[in-house]
Every structure is written in C-alpha cells, then in structure tokens.
Structure 1
Amino acid sequence: MGSSFRFLFALFCAVPALSLPASPYEVKESVHPPHGWVQHSAPSPSHGIELRIGLPQPNFGVLETHLYEVSDPDHHRYGQHLSKEEVEELIAPHPDSLDAVNDWLASHGIQEEDVTRSPGKDWVTLKLPVELVEKMLDTKYHVWKHTKTGDYIVRTTSYSLPIHLHEHVDVIQPTTMFGQFKPFRSTISKVEAAPATPAANSLGSLVNPATGLTIDASCNVTITVSCLQQLYNAVGFTPSAKGNSIGITGYLEEFANFADLQQFFAQQVPAAENSSFKVVSVNNGLNNQSDPGFEANLDVQFAFGISHPITPTFFTTGGSPPFIPDDDTPTDTNEPYLNWLDFILSQENIPLSISTSYGDDEQTVPEAFAKRVCADFAQLGARGTSVIFSSGDNGVGDGDSNPATQTCFTNNGRNETKFIPVFPATCPFVTSVGATDNVAPEVAVSSFFSGGGFSNYFSRPPYQDVVVPNYLKTELAPGTFEGLFNPEGRGFPDISAQGDRFEIIVGGQAFLIGGTSASSPTVNGFISLLNDVRLKSGWPALGFLNPFIYKKGFAGFTDILSGHNSGCGTPGFNVTKGWDPVTGFGTPNFGKLKELILEVTGA
C-alpha cells in the first residue's frame, strides 16, 4: 500500500468530512450483473481502488467536426491534423465542472496532491480504499466471481452522486464494469517441423481470381510475411520515408520476445535481421523476456515484419494481477486500455498507426464508459493516428467460443437473446478488422470467428449512411434476425485481412496461430506502408481511416464473396458484394491503395 494511499485511508478513518451545502444523492448508474458473475464476499475495507472520474467534454462536438473534416478525402482540410494542444483545448471540461468535482473531493478529505489529471483535465484518477469509495458513491462493493473462468473482481451494480454533481460527471469507474478484456485469438497449434525458408515453395502457385495475383500454394497451409505481401500486392515495396512510425499495444502480461523476433526475421524477413523495436512501459508494464507471449509475439512479428524498417514501438501496459479475495496487495482497476490512453494522449509524438488485438463483449462495458473511451480514440484520430482494432473471434456471438454453449443473453435483466457486438471495435472512431481464410479466393473465416454486426451503443456514423442501409435492404429479408441486432447501430468490421494459420515463433519454437488478433496487426503493417507513400510524397499520414475507406478507399480492397459469421444458434450475417458485417469492404490491395491515397491531398 503506497504512502499516499495510507494517508488517505488514515484521514478517512480519523477526520470527519468537510461541511458543504447538503445535496441529496441520486442513482447515477445501475446495471444487472452480466451472466456468469456471482457475489462471492465482501472486500476488505482497505482494498485499493483506482477510481477514475470522467468529466463532461462540452466541446466534443467541435472536435468531432474537426476529426471528420481532416479525415474526409473531399474536404479542403484533409490531412490537416490537430496538435496535442488543440485537441486538449477542445476536450477540456467546463470550469464549473472542475470546481464542483474538486469541492466534492475536498469534502471527503481529498486534496489536489492526491489526484492525477489527464492532459485535457477531463479525467481525474485517484487511489482510494474501498470503504471511502463506498461513502463517496453511497454504494456497497462486493467481490464477484466468474463461474466459468474463476476470476474475481471488486464491483458494485449501482452507484449514486449528489444531485448537483450529475451534470458535472459523465462516468465513474471501476464501479459497474464487469468486462473481461481479452485477446482475440482463436487457435494455437505447434508446428513440429517448420520450414527453414518459408519463401521456398514446393507446392506450386495459385492465382487469386479476384485480383489476378500469383501466390505460393503453400500460403493455403501456412501464412507468412511473404504470403501477405503476395496476396495484398506489396511484393518488392520497401518503405524509405523519414518520420514514419508504427505501434503495437500489449496487455495482460503478454510480453514480446526479442530473441523470438530475431528467429522470425531470419526465417521470414532476412532484411530485418538485427533490427528490433522500442519498448515503452505504461502503468509499470513489463516485457519479461523469460515469458514470451503468443499474442504479443504474433502482433510484433507480423506488424513489424511487414512494415520494416519503419520505426516500431511496443507499448506494454501493466494491469492489476487477478484479484484474490483477502489479499490487499493487488489494486482492482479499469480496463487497461484506459491506462494506455491516458499515457499516449499525454505524449507529443505518437505512432502514425497503432493496432490492438483485444476487446470485450460490448454489453459488459457500461455504455457511458464505452462512449468516453471511444471519445479518447477520436482524439488520436484528430491528431493523425490510424487506430485499428480486431473485430472479435466469436461471429455474432458472445465470448464463449463453444457454439454449443453460447447463450447470447442480454444484461438487461430480461435474459433476452441478442447478438453480442464487441467493444472497442464498435467505436465509430476506430477501424475494425475482420478475418479471412484461404488465398485463391479468400473467404470469410468459417470456423466460428470474424466478429461482426451492429453496435447497441453507437449509432450509425455518417460514413456508413449509404452502405449499411443498402446491406440491410438488399441482403436481409424482412424479419431476418428481427430483434437480435440494432439496425441503426454502427456496423463493423470496416475491412478485413487474413486471420488463420499464421506462423510465429514463441520460445524458439514455431506455432500456427489464428484469430482477428492476426488480422489487426496485418492491416497495421500495410497502413504503415501506405503512410510511407504519403510521407514520401510530402503529404500527411492517413490518420483516421474510415471516411477515406468508405468514400474512396473501398476501391482498393478486394471484395470477399463467400462466408458468414455464425453465433447465437444462427448462421449469422452473410458476406455480399460491397460492404458487409462480416468482412467489411474486404482485404487490402496495396498497389491500388497506393494510387488512391496519392489522389487525395486536401488544400
């Protein structure tokens, strides 16, 4: 327990709260516990909680306007991204909100030196004992246990605030959030005898009928960097522009191994041998070289292998270890991507494209919190960074990867059956990536993944106003899946890429791995190459991708015309010509995209 935390706990126990004008409490947020979570016990009164308070952003609408203008290939401001300071000015809370929250904290003995503020002052973070948090929020926390995974968390299902504070606070967490942030990785199998030189092709060649490109037939068995370069029309391209950068986020003690990367490069990207990546620690994140992670190695090996020699960074974000009842050492925190966002938004220089292969079932993340996190991703886009997320691995279903046991129940207390979208992939300010399989032709991955569908939290963004209604009208017969999804919601994914049988090195051994966890870093690598083309021609990086993709860029993607995304006892949605909620617009054709991105220059 840190000294500041001990001081606050002692102060709470010894000093009465300061006197302020009385304001009765009223419930701010209330949820039903998600399926699988049951009350286990009461936490220790001194159990630490890292409380985050989100203050309203009254000018966010202005920021959103800027974001769409600088991302619209037909707008004269295209590519004129905002500075860190300009973004912070636009998301700053009103002084009245700052004062109201500060007074409330002071009434509980909490002073300015006890809190940490985000760069825009729209988030307040403080570490407190649960007993004090219960008093501040007029609530009761419990230890909850997940009946399937055995995980424990400390949460409440309802919290309140003084009435006068409601307009000055958007969200407070961790309170009602029961999410199980996880990597979107579906299959792992050990390769007993991996080829020493994957480029050597003993199986002949195939021609992709959709593109006319020739691909090694071995790519139908094992996906390598060379396979992706062939399939996506980037053979022979070497980036050379200065100032380019690419990032990968790592969470949940997934560590990227340097020795494994060198072995991977020796086999698949010889030109990259003896190069490495920068490690940036967030929230005391580690990169333990004795414990290589499948997810982290997959992400860095393929993203950095495709994009070499563009400057690579691996962000390792520390998260609390699994909470153990009666153990006061761990601090139960929020989803770790908020820790990462706090950090990255405070930096002057951030990678121009960043991918994340993790997420939650949308309904396990409270709507108010999801919308605030999504707004943070909008800040990254406004500053010129492409933010890329995996679309999930369970089709239209929930986090249970076994189709026989998928329930797809809602968390609204009525046990309704509905499709389960995935967050942050449903955030309209990120680019969501689904998964494909095979190479001649590519199809949607059939083995129960390539997450897709429609958000229940986020309405349809303007860039989807044509393609989504067209899909719903032409591809779904009246009444199809009625009541199972929100037809007015943000559709996802936006695009897709290969997502199965990727050969990676972990602990010096070769493995095959799959999931949209593979698709997201793949797209990240190719977006980084496109940024190289832009920068070399004197133009800004692509930034927020979706307005470009939906208006012009779709012509640079290969449409996927076979497959569906099963789940919830249904076949899920079907792929179709054009955009669909399985593979989006399809997979990248680097050669075509390279031409398209040079046609849009702004003023």
Structure 2
Amino acid sequence: MQFLGLALSLLLVTSILAAPPNDYALRIKETVSPPRGWAKHSIPPPDHNIALRIGLQRPNFPVLERHLYEVSSPDHERYGQHLSKEEVEALVAPHQESIDSVNEWLFSHGFKESDLVKSPAKDWVTVKVPVSLAEKILDATYYVWKHIESGDSLVRTTGYSLPSHLHHHVDVIQPTTLFGRFKKSTSTIIWSDKSSAVSDAANGDLAPIVDATSGVTVDASCNENITISCLQQIYNIVDFVPSARGNSIGITGYLNQSANVADLQQFFVEQRPDAVNSTFQFISVNGGQNDQTPANAGDEANLDTQYAFGLSYPISPTFYSTAGSPPFIPDSSPPENTNEPYTAWLDFVLSQADVPLAISTSYGDDEQTVPFSFAKRACEDFAQLGARGVSLMFSSGDKGVGDGDENPATQQCFTNDGRNKTEFIPAFPASCPYTTAVGGTYKFPEVAVPFSGGGFSNYFNRPRYQDAAVGKYLHALPKGLYNGLFNPNGRAFPDVAAQSYRFRIILKGRPALIGGTSASSPTFAGFVALLNDVRLKAGRPSLGFLNPFLYSTGLAGLNDITSGNNAGCGTPGFNSTVGWDPVTGLGTPNFGKLKEIVLRR
C-alpha cells in the first residue's frame, strides 16, 4: 500500500509537470462585429494561403513619439534633426523576450526559422499558412465574406485567440478581423473634349477674378476647370522654379490603378510643356503592375501623378504600385489573396534607405471598419516615416461626415459595434495624428467643397498640437449641436485643404474632368515638395512631419476658408469658419508666404 501511494504521488507530479502551464491556455485576443454591408458567403478552401502578419509589441514607441515631436516642432531646439532609418528601427524593436516567445510558439506548430520573414526592426513576423492551419493555431473560423454593394470578397474571421503568455508580446495579427476595403477617394469622371480650360485662359477671353481678401488674381476659367496654371495662380506660386538636389516626391497606387505614361506626356504638352519627355520612376511593391495598355489607364493614378508631378517638376518623382485587391477568387491558382496591399506598401517603404520626402495617398476607409489594433500599428508606422523626415499626405475622404451615400439626406451612419448607434463616420488613415489630412475646396475665391471629409476620430485622442485651434472651434460650436454624434476629444481632421473639383486630366488619350479629395492630397503634396526645395536649397533639412509646423508658425502661410459645409448623415454637417474647422482644416497654402516662413528655422 505504501508503495502504491508513492507511485500515485509520482504519477500526479509527473502529470503536473507534463501539463502546459496556465499561461499557455488559449485566450481571446480580439473579436469584432462584422461591418455593415458584409455577409458570410462560403467556406474558403482549406489550402487557401494566408500571409499571416504578427505585430510584436513596441515598448519604446513612446520614446520614438517624443523624438518625432521634437524634430517636427519649430519651437524645439532639435527641429529638423530627423532620425536615421537605423535609429528609428532601434526605437520600434520589440524586447528579445517577445521575439523568443513568438518564435517558440510558431516552432511548436511546425514552422522553422527559414519560414519566418521578419521586418528590419523585427517588430513584424510574417508566415505563409493555409487557412486550415491558421484556424488551428488561432482557434479561429475563417469564412469568405462578401460585400453586398460592391461584390468584393475577403477571407476573414470575426475573432481569434492566442496563448495567454503571448498577449503582452503581440499587438495584432492580420489578416483576421480587418474588413476594410481601402477605397479610392475620387468622384465621378466627366468627359470633356473641350479645351476651354486652357484656351480661354490663354486668350484672355474672360475677365480675371480677384480675391478681395488676399489680393490674388486668377483666370476666370479656373472656376470651370482646374489646371496646373490655375493652382499656381490660386496658391501664389507663379514663376517659382525648383532646383535643389536631393528632393523627391512620391505617389502611392493601389487596386490595379496604372499611371499611363502616354497620358502623362499629353498632359505635359497641354499644361506643363517644359516637362515634356520627363517621366517618373516606377516601383513595383509585392508584384504591383503599371499596365501601359491605354484602356487600362487608371483615373486615380493619372490624376495623382499628373498633378503632383506636374506641380513639382523637375523634382524627382516616384510612383509606387502595390499589388493586392478584391475580389478574392477561390478558384484561382494558387488560391491566395490577402487583400491587404496597404500593409505591403508600409512594409516595403519602411525597409528602404531612401524614401521620397513628400508622399501622397488618395485611398482610405471608414475608421470603424479598421480594428483599433491594426489602426494603431499602421499609425505608428506613419510616425516612423515622419521621424525620418518624410511628409505624409492623405485624402480626408469624399463623404462629408457620412457613410458615402451620394444623397446626404438618405445616409445611414451607424456604428459597427453591434449597437447600431447613429454617429458621424470618421475616416482612416486621415484620423491618424501622425499624418496630414487634406480636405477639399472649389471655386475662387475658395469655399469648402460639400463632399470634403472631416470630423473627429473615435480611436485617437486629440494631439497637443491641435489643442488651441480645435479647442477654439469646439468652444464656438453651438451648445448641444450634434451631441453624441462625434467624439469632441478625438483627433480632428482635416488639417489643411486644397482645390478638389473638376480637375482637367488626360485619361485614355482624352481630356476628362475629375475630382475628390484625391485631387487635393496630391496637390498639397506638390506644394510641400516645392517648400522642401526652398529648405534644401538653403542647406536645411526637409519639413518632415508637417502638423506641428502647420498649427504653429505655418498658420500664417495658409488661406483661411470660412464658407461651406460638409453635409452627411441627414445633417448639414460641420461649417467652415474662421480658424480651424472640420471641413477645410486650417486652410489652403499660400506658397509666397510659406516659402519665407519655412526658412525661419
């Protein structure tokens, strides 16, 4: 009996030692409600491959953020002392314990070190897995989800789990709960074979328009169509020729949008003759294409490249094309499509030693369709670029404060958290505090364009650089107006604005008129590139992250827009007013003034 008791005791001890510790038990890491408009469609093939991206925690990010604000604030002694790629990577690197823990977890599921693709800072780990294995290691169930309105499809789950001990090592894993569609911000194309926008201005047939406030004079035709010449006149940039070495500007392209070189040349012949025979550097990311078949020219890509590169010529231009777009096609071979081109671009550009100094993106999504964990990580990636001296411009969106319904009176603005609460719908990445969000204006003298996206983030708190300007706006807002429809403590956007309506482009060999904040963002980026030229020529560093400058000394170089509103959700939306507002931000650029201001520090 004594021997049996000892044997039983040893067996119990052995069992306890063999059992996994409690912190290896799976615990839910993240769950989401499916966004409105998405429905379960089918079960994905078990061999559908997923590029599973694991974001390790960045314990020193607050230190990077402090550096970012110091080198970006004109009143700080470190202004302009941007960090190197290596310095930034050191500040976002995870603890070795996090790296080891994630490695051990992946190895326990049969992966080898050679299967793991790690970012230079080792803060991202990517592994390719069939969906059947992803479901096993994440205790998740994936489905093919279909967007009812567009027909786009994604392979996603509404929740996943991790071993308990990994929760404080891992920030996010995707593709899991991200249902964002990352749409272009372009309004309807109007075909226009008439050349009146150019000929009338050249012939002086119409009386010019004078802005009584600024004293700027502009060709009358600019109230019909916007051209390079119109933007130069409106924003006080006539006769400036950039010449500094080392300057650069970039445009990002997604969703199979191709920038057509023949169209660009025709555009240059019409609007920028000195740029004829020049072109851009094309960089393919993750297999992205730039199809030069005339029929496949992209409206968004043509608009972005023609105006950003036309305004900033001869500054060195780059067009990025990043592969990955809906729909998911389960019968394709191999059956693989993660539909996350945006993260692929960020991975790529952060790994590069040389990055364009001003970059514009005309794509975005509703903030609420992007899980906070993912939005936070992407926002931190933008901060890395800002700390390295890169200015990032994003369109503020083309739906006012609403959900994109073309008729503001019928828009339904509901939350995606299961409550179906009525709220204004902020946009992302415009809501990230480390980006410069660009809203829209039209006509001259300028007023806010009705579709200009703007509002307040539900994810990110208002940054300090906005406190004075936004606080003043909120104080003046009629008491009780839109109570409960927006977060008054959130990061406010847009920051600035520019023309965004009836831009004359060349598309598939024909003139066309196009608009959206997708026009205002590359326009503003073009002016930032010119301001960088002023600084570089004087031996100063690039402007980098713009917002602390714009909300302080740069404010004197902006045209305040005080008329217009951005209707949505069955409301008139917000009004433009004196000072900052959630329609046109701080205003539009006055290059003549800004070129003097940027040399003060």
* TM-score interval (norm. to shorter): over 0.9
**Closer, same or farther in 2 for the Cα pair 1:158/1:328, shift >3 Å?**
farther
Secondary structure of 2:551's partner? helix
One-letter amino acid of the counterpart of residue 481, structure 1: Y
Given candidates 337, 341, 344, the residue that maps to 2:349 is: 344
Give the C-alpha shift of residue 326 in structure 1: 4.5
Question: Structure 2 CA distance, aligned partners of 1:169 and 1:426?
Answer: 24
Question: Structure 2 CA distance, aligned partners of 1:329 and 1:186?
Answer: 35
One-letter amino acid of the counterpart of residue 302, structure 2: N
One-letter amino acid of the counterpart of residue 462, structure 2: R
One-letter amino acid of the counterpart of residue 495, structure 1: V
Secondary structure of 1:50's partner? strand
Question: Structure 2 CA distance, aligned partners of 1:520 and 1:19?
Answer: 57
Given candidates 294, 314, 336, the residue that maps to 1:309 is: 314
Give the C-alpha shift of residue 192 in structure 1: 2.3
Q: Deviations over 1:209-245 (max 9, x none)?
A: 2311110000000100000000000000000011100
**Closer, same or farther in 2 for the Cα pair 1:527/1:330, shift >3 Å?**
farther
Question: Structure 1 CA distance, aligned partners of 2:132 and 2:351?
Answer: 31
One-letter amino acid of the counterpart of residue 238, structure 2: V
One-letter amino acid of the counterpart of residue 28, structure 1: K
Q: Does 1:53 align with 2:54?
A: yes
Q: Aligned residues: percent identity?
A: 65
Q: Does 1:445 align with 2:473?
A: no
Give the C-alpha shift of residue 330 in structure 1: 4.4
**Bigger mean CA deviation after superposition, 91-100 or 18-27:** 18-27
Give the C-alpha shift of residue 195 in structure 1: 4.2
1:454–1:492 Cα contact (<8 Å) kept? yes
**Bigger mean CA deviation after superposition, 266-275 or 184-193:** 184-193
1:499–1:519 Cα contact (<8 Å) kept? yes
Equivalent position of 1:426 in the other structure: 431
Secondary structure of 1:466's partner? helix
One-letter amino acid of the counterpart of residue 421, structure 2: E
Question: Structure 2 CA distance, aligned partners of 1:24 and 1:509?
Answer: 62
Give the C-alpha shift of residue 337 in structure 1: 1.6
Secondary structure of 2:284's partner? strand
Q: TM-score, normalised by structure 1?
A: 0.94
Written as runs of structure 1 = structure 2, the 5 A alignment for 1:228-267 is 228-267=231-270
Q: Does 1:221 align with 2:224?
A: yes
One-letter amino acid of the counterpart of residue 361, structure 1: D
One-letter amino acid of the counterpart of residue 445, structure 1: V
Written as runs of structure 1 = structure 2, the 5 A alignment for 1:279-358 is 279-290=282-293, 291-327=296-332, 329-333=334-338, 335-358=340-363
Equivalent position of 2:3 in the other structure: none
Equivalent position of 1:99 in the other structure: 100
Equivalent position of 1:522 in the other structure: 523
Equivalent position of 2:5 in the other structure: none
- Show structure 2 runs of 5+ residues with no match: 1-17
Secondary structure of 2:222's partner? helix
Give the C-alpha shift of residue 549 in structure 1: 0.4
**Bigger mean CA deviation after superposition, 329-338 or 61-70:** 329-338
1:210–1:558 Cα contact (<8 Å) kept? no
Q: Deviations over 1:355-402 (max 9, x none)?
A: 000001000000010000000000000000000000000000113334
Question: Structure 2 CA distance, aligned partners of 1:137 and 1:328?
Answer: 25
Equivalent position of 2:37 in the other structure: 36
2:30–2:161 Cα contact (<8 Å) kept? yes
Question: Structure 2 CA distance, aligned partners of 1:403 and 1:335?
Answer: 30
- Show structure 1 runs of 5+ residues with no match: 1-17
Give the C-alpha shift of residue 332 in structure 1: 3.0
Equivalent position of 1:166 in the other structure: 167
One-letter amino acid of the counterpart of residue 295, structure 1: E
Equivalent position of 2:458 in the other structure: 456
2:154–2:326 Cα contact (<8 Å) kept? no
One-letter amino acid of the counterpart of residue 210, structure 1: T
Secondary structure of 1:414's partner? coil
Question: Structure 1 CA distance, aligned partners of 2:130 and 2:333?
Answer: 10
One-letter amino acid of the counterpart of residue 533, structure 1: V
2:440–2:498 Cα contact (<8 Å) kept? yes
**Closer, same or farther in 2 for the Cα pair 1:320/1:563, shift >3 Å?**
closer
One-letter amino acid of the counterpart of residue 419, structure 2: R
Question: Structure 2 CA distance, aligned partners of 1:588 and 1:416?
Answer: 37
1:353–1:527 Cα contact (<8 Å) kept? yes
One-letter amino acid of the counterpart of residue 291, structure 2: N
**Bigger mean CA deviation after superposition, 419-428 or 401-410:** 401-410
One-letter amino acid of the counterpart of residue 351, structure 2: S
Equivalent position of 2:6 in the other structure: none
Equivalent position of 2:207 in the other structure: 204
Secondary structure of 2:384's partner? helix
Q: Deviations over 1:316-365 (max 9, x none)?
A: 11114510244453423253221111111111111110000000100000
Q: Deviations over 1:416-447 (max 9, x none)?
A: 110000000000000000000101x100002x
One-letter amino acid of the counterpart of residue 123, structure 1: W
Q: Does 1:561 align with 2:562?
A: yes
1:320–1:330 Cα contact (<8 Å) kept? no
What value does the CA root-mean-square deviation take over the aligned residues?
Answer: 1.4
Q: Does 1:118 align with 2:122?
A: no
Give the C-alpha shift of residue 39 in structure 1: 0.9
1:453–1:492 Cα contact (<8 Å) kept? yes
Secondary structure of 1:418's partner? coil
Give the C-alpha shift of residue 467 in structure 1: 1.0
Q: TM-score, normalised by structure 2?
A: 0.95
When the two structures are aligned, how many residues end up with a matched partner? 579
1:471–1:579 Cα contact (<8 Å) kept? yes
Q: Does 1:270 align with 2:273?
A: yes
Equivalent position of 2:8 in the other structure: none
